[in-house]
Amino acid sequence: MDPDTMELFRLQAEIAKTLSDPYRLVLLHELREGEKSVSQLVSTLGLPQSNVSRHLAVLRERSIVFTRRDGTTIYYRLANPRIAEACDIVREVLQSQLAHNHALVSAFNVK
């Protein structure tokens, strides 16, 4: 395999690892609506600010989100909205699989 292609797959794996936490996925889902402050995200997730800040730092290190400071408030936004679209596609696939599995279980229980 071409080294550049392999590097691209390695980087994709790093992004997948970064997104492997459900709270980070919720953060991305929330940020799809636009820029939000840390306190807004803390309120939405119901986690301590230190936990939310840690998750946001991981997303920032991977350039998945960007920050903007206004006085003492830090705002976060998606670096590229297509990452949220990719997460939507994965969720749609999962919902389809779950519906299929539910149909199989229901059919099995009828017999």
End-to-end CA distance of the chain: 50
> Distance between CA 7 and CA 98 in Å, rounded?
33
Would you list the domain boundaries of the chain? 3-80
Each residue of 16-28: pLDDT tens digit? 999 999 999 999 9
Instruction: Kindly indicate whether the domain formed by 3-80 is annotated with CATH number 1.10.10.10.
Output: yes
Dump pLDDT digits (tens) for 59-97. 999 999 999 999 999 999 999 999 999 999 999 999 888
Triad 50, 75, 41: Cα angle to 5°: 50
Best CA proximity match to 83, nearest among 36, 15, 4: 15
